[in-house]
Structures are given as C-alpha cells and as structure tokens.
Structure 1
Amino acid sequence: MRLVRLAQQPSRVAEDVRAALASLGRGSNVVGGVALIGASPVDGRPVEAVVVMPKGILIVIGVDLPDPALKLEAPLGGPWKADGWPLVHGDTSINPATDALSLSAACTHRIADIAPGAGPIGTIIAVGPYVETVDQPAADLAGSVRVLYPTATTMLAATVSLASAPSPRSVQQARELIAALAPDAPPMPEEMLLGEGFSAYSDDEPTVIRENPLVAIAPTVPVRHPGKRPTKSAVPPAPPAKPVKAAPPVQQAVAVKPPPPEAAPAEPGPKTSQQSKTVKWLPVAAIGLLIVLLIAAISVASSSDDTASTQAPPPPAPSTAPSTSPPPPSSAVESIQFTSRASAADQKCASHAYGDVQSSLQQTSCAGVKRASFAGSIDGRNAAVTVAVVDFPDAGQATAFKATADTPGGGGILDLATETGQWQGEVPVFEGAAYQSSVDGKSVRLVQVVWVPGPSTPDDPGLVRGAKAALELPVNG
C-alpha cells in the first residue's frame, strides 16, 4: 500500500493510523492500493485516510478516547464502555463514534456519486490512544464497519475482510477515483499503480488487446503449405512441373558448349565422333580432379591437426591492450560488496517519483535523473540498494529539493530494477529503508537500503552503514 499525504489529520490517533498503513509496505504482496492521508471527500472535512484499493475502498476515521483502555465495548448503535465505564461524546451522541459514522455515510454517498459501481466501501473507526481489545457485536461485524485500535495486524485484517470485490479495478479507474477524491494528489505513473495491484484493463475492455497489442496487427497474408494447393486463387495455378532427375554435382558445375557453326571443323564423320568422345570424357576427368583435390585438402587438414595436437601452444605474449570482456558489474565500498542490477537515465524526473518529491519535481526544471539498483552484501547478509541522482540547472534548486526529499514521509524516487523487473530472486520492498542523501553542486543523490528479505528499520546499523557507503557508488545512466 502506498501512502500519499495530503493534509494534517484531525485526530490524535492519526499517527497510529498512518504507521499501521505504512507497515503494510508498498506493492500488492499483501493488499495493495493507495492511501490518501488527510483526504476531504465531503465539504472540506478531512478524515484520517481514504484508501483506494484494487478490490474496494476504505474510509478511515479516528475517534479519540479520554484514556487508554484494556477492553472497549463498542456497539455501533448503543453506548460504549471502556473497562466497564460508560463513554459519551456530547449531549446528543449515542457513543463517541456517532459523528464519525455520520461523516462516513456522507463520504460513502459521495464516492457512490462520483464512481458508480466502485465496489465495496467499508469504514474503519480507529480508536485510541490505546485499546488492547475491542468487542463488537456479531451483527456489527457482519456489516461494513470495523472499530479497532490501529495496528499492522488489525488494519490488515480489516482491509482483507472489507475489500472483497470479485475483480480488481483498472489503473484508469483508480486514477479517476483518486483525482475526484483528492484533486491535489500528484498523478501516479501506470507502473506504480500496476505494482499496487490495479488491473491493466477494465472489465468491459477486451483483455486480449490490452494484454498483447500485437494481436490486433496479426499478419493476414495466407501462407501456402508445401505440397498443397489453395482452394481459391485469383490467378490460375501453373501446371505441376515434371520431376527432373538431379545431375551429379560436377556435371552441374561444368558446362560444355558445342562449337559455334562458323568454328565447326569442315571434316565430317570421324572428326565428329572423336569430338563426341572428348565431350563424354570431360565429366569423368573433372570428377577425378575433384577427388584428387579433396584428398589433398583432407591430408593438409589432418597434418595441421596432428601438428597442433603434438605441439604445446606457446605462452601468450604480454599485451598492453585492454581486455575485450567487460569486468563484473560489482564494486566494493568500505568492505561492502555491491553488484549492479540495473541503471538508466532520462529527463522524466517527476514520472519516476512519488509523494512530495514528485510534486517538487513537477514544479522545478529538472535537468535529468540517473537511477541505479544494486544487490549488496553487508556483514554477510543480503541487501538491496536503490540510488537516484537528480540534476538541476542551479545549486539553489538542488538544495531545496534535497530538503523536500529529506522530510520524513515526503516521498522519493522509484527503484529502477523494481520497475523494470530486473531483480534476481525475491523483489525487495523499500519500506523501513535506511536513507541517506547528499548534494554536490547541482546534483542531489538519494539512497535507500533494505534487507532482503526484510523486515528493515531506518536506524539499523548495518543498513545505515550500507546507505552511507552507497553515496560513493558510481551511477552511470
């Protein structure tokens, strides 16, 4: 699941909501989707998140409790109790979630209006500051609302149970829905949405064309099978040729012409007979000559092979010319081994970014971006490294961009090998990555390092050491 921060969230439990959603990691290995943090679907009233998933939509609204609780009894249509004590929220509210449920209903109607047939729409009432156990009646659990304290486990269980459409929405549908719910959200590349589990085509589109466009331009010229005639033809078929006996190879190579009439000898009879004999003997002589040449060639080849097999080859002479075979794409920095997996460069900076970093690049004249992916070995443990070098026209723009990229939760640059499918084995997930950055004049370098397999944490000593080492890696587009 990918997080896009739009505005400040209204409740104290919002930090726990964001942390729980972030713990799901990017990509569709678990649930997938895009979480619009702080979105305001209705009348500018922000909610903790609107989560657009491939098979459903979740509205997450926070409810702050007065104190932590070990057990919360939370019926949707009745009073709540925290550790046996009743909880009220305002003079006219049945329970603290009354206003949240009203806002959820308004958001549900809004989504149904802008995206008819959007699939299941669920609601998560996130309570805090801390609740160990939430008790919901069975009748409420059969519906589309969950009350929970947001952790990775509870959020995962809720998303799986509430997003249950039979087929995923398409990339185009996801884009249109995100644009309607959050007009300020940066546009997302197709490869990013595909990675989050959205489909490349809609249910009403012919899948064969979207999956393989070459089918639409398949060749239509008929090919005649050897030995068979077509049933219809605009041109009458030619009669079959009579079989011709193949001549010996030598006779094909030697052509004997009779002498021209003006050069023909005057003597009749015997001379003509002798000339015919000479013509008949020519093929035989040619065959004999060919046999002699073949025997000579075989003898020379055999002699060369025997000589080569009996004599040891001389040692190669030293040469100062560079080797033609490329060196292995690996380098060692501070005793950490890095092996290149992918590298590329172009000028489409914003299309390779996400979050606030993408917004910054859309408003700045980026001169180009070089990206590279490396497999690393840190203290004997496998790691994955993604590096991006963004170039700007002047140093001031580079410094401002680095400040945006260094902001926690501000987004970043997409990993090249993940986009292009060039990882060998398990594909890394750059969630909880150790992060480093540097500025060199007009260029900003961003580095992220994670363990493969995870999990990873930003303050892991090994990952931090690997990220600092990766600041020195050569990146060639």
Structure 2
Amino acid sequence: MRLVRLGEQPSVVGVDVRAALSTWGVGKAVLGGVALLGVQPPGCPRPLDAVIVLPRGVLVVVGVDLPDPAMRLEAPLTGGWAIDGWPLVRTDGAVNPATEALAAATTVANRLQAMRAEPLPVSTVIAVGPYVGKVVQPTVDLNRGVRVLHPEPTTLLAAARELATCERPCTVDQASRLLGVVMSEGSPPDTGQLLAEGFPDAVTTDLASASTMLIPRIGGKDGAERGAERKPRRPLPPLPHWAPYAAAGVFGLLVLLGIIVAATSGDTPSAAPPTTSARPTTVAMAGLTFAPEGAAKDTDCAGHSFGDARTWLTQHGCTGLQRAQYETSVNGRKVAVSVAEITVADAAAGAQLRAVLDTPGAGGVNDLVREGRTWPGGPANFDRAAYASSVQDNRIRVAQAVWADGQSTATDPALLNLAKQAQQLPLTQ
C-alpha cells in the first residue's frame, strides 16, 4: 500500500487509519493499492480521511470521533447509534454519523461515473474511535458494502479484502486515471510504482463506455449480525484484577508505535504543508498528465459550429454538445487539446455527421478557444491542429491537438497520437 498525503486528517481517529495503513508497508505483498490521505475530491462536502484505490475496488474511509471509548457500539445505517446501551449524543447533534459518511462516498462514486473512470465498486468504511471493542451492524447494512470498525491493521485489512472483489482488476493506466480524477492536487504515482502495488499492466476496452456505481455487497448469513457473541466451548477462569490495566497499557503502546511509524514513514510525503488554494483536477492517462482548462455544455450545436457542419446541424439538430480543453506536456513542450462530443438522434445520423466532420474544409465544431476561452500559456487558436474522431452509436467525439507555442501541422506524428488519446478525456471538469 503506497500512501500519498494530500492534507491533514479531518478526524482524530484518522491518525489511527494512517497508522494502520502504514503497517502494511509498500508493495503488494499484503494488499497493494494506493491510499490518498486527507483528500477532498472535487464536489465532496468534506475532506476524507482516506480514499483507498485497490486493483479490485475503491474504499472511502470517513472518520467518526465518538465522545468516549466504547466496549460495544451499535451502528445501524438508519436510526440512532448506541454506545454500551446508551444513545449516542455528540456535540454536533448527530445521532447517526453514517449519514454524512454515505453522502461522501456517494459523491466519490458520482464523480468517478461523471469522469468515466474505471467502474470499480465504491464501498464505505466508517472508522470510529478513540476505541471500540465491538461493533454490531445489521446484516442488510453489511450487504450494502458498508463497514463500521475501529481502524486497526487487521480490521481494516479484513474490510478491504471483503469489499474489493471486482472480477476484473484495474490496470495501471486505469488506476492512474482513476486517481487523477479523485485527487484535488498533485499527480498520481508513476507506472513503476503502480505496478509495484499490484495493478496489472494490460490493455482493456474503451473506458468511454464504462460507468461507475455503488455496488451492494452480497454475502454473510441471513439474520446474522457482525460481531455477534460466540458461545465459548468451556468456561474460562476469571481474569486477575490487574488484567484490564495491563491490556490498556499494551493497547496504548501499540497505538503509540503506530503513530511513530506513520509519522516517520518514508512513503508518505509530509515535508510540504498541504495547500488550501483550489487547484484544477488533473487527469492522468497514457503516462501524461492533463490539466483541465475549461469545459462547456450546450444544446445549440449549430450555434457553436461552422461551415458544412453548421448546415448539417441546422437541418438535423442534436440533443447535446459537450466540450472541454486541456493542457499537457510532451517531451518538455506544452500541448493544448480540445475535445468535443455531439449527441444526435440515432446511429445513422451519427455516421452522417462524422462523415461531414472528417471531410477537410467542411467545417466543424468550435473549440472553446475560438469562442474566447483562452488561458495563460495556451494557444492563440487551433488552426492546423492534428485531428481524430470516433463514433459510438449516436455520439460523435472529435479531438484536436496543437503545440501551445510555435507552429503546428495536421500531420505531426506526436500531435496525431495525442489527438487519438485525447478522445478518452472526460468532458466534465
């Protein structure tokens, strides 16, 4: 598990989460994957203690600080929580912290779906502290892919193995893209680091047709509750009066050791303080990092096109137009990319419009720079841009690529390759 610290832990128990993840070490020997600590994905209402991206699933970890330690916590997703038989009362008035945690997890799942990332199951882990001896959850909640637990190395590892069970593993390229749309700043780990964390290096199908959703877990025994008491085989002798104090001392020593390991871990960059300024969400794909530079969504396709393409769209209409632009760098030189997707009535109309757009000199869809949406260091226009297009049923996607400075040609091999890759970029930012 590779740890990437993006901000401070939003909860006190988040320190225990980080310590538990640190004990697994780097690499795939224990589990693999990448954990983003203190991350707040775009659109998420609050910072998260961790978003754990595994080859077969995504875990959203939300910390909940209880007012006191508990021997037994009853934590249903609906209704109030109870600590040692007493209703939970917090200073913020919340009687069921699971509501906020589920809302945060849903935000992450919705963003992955909107950005067309790899459709891995998104599950929720609610980490409770300062200490909980046993957590009781209804079976129906467990089947929804939600775990409430005190974050120790073993409990967190067990939850990850139970929840991250997608049949098809997420490849290196897909993981890089997924991490890129969740991170609010910085760049995902490189290809070598992702390979070391268990993400396979393989070619998969087009991600543009994928979707992401909350996938409920199906498992367990009907009517059973997590943490149910087991009847001992034989009566155990009573513990000495000093045993609770000794156990408390050992637990405190383990917690202190975990904090020291987390604080001194060389795999988590902690030298630079987290920034509070908003940064654009980068998208990592094919070894390149694309910085969003604007997006737009319209229904007047003819009004945002020119030439024969405008004539065709005026006659036949469309159901939607989405455009986006990005900046990346190839061999140290900045490249600007424009992507557009037009949705028409049916597949036959899609093939007709693509034929018009692919005809040299027949016009096309305005890029955002053409309509005045420039950015510092960006190109003055997309003239002589390298061009690529594709059609899927009734959706036509076109992409252009130009050097941000200097002259471009439509036959430049580097730009042509980039235009083909750019067709996979998200149209929402």
Structure 2 length-normalised TM: 0.47
Say which structure, 1 or 2, has more relative contact order (CA 8 Å, 6+ apart): 2
Counting helix residues as a fraction of each chain, which structure ranks higher? Answer: 1
Q: Which has the larger radius of gyration?
A: 1
**TM-score, normalising length: structure 1:** 0.42
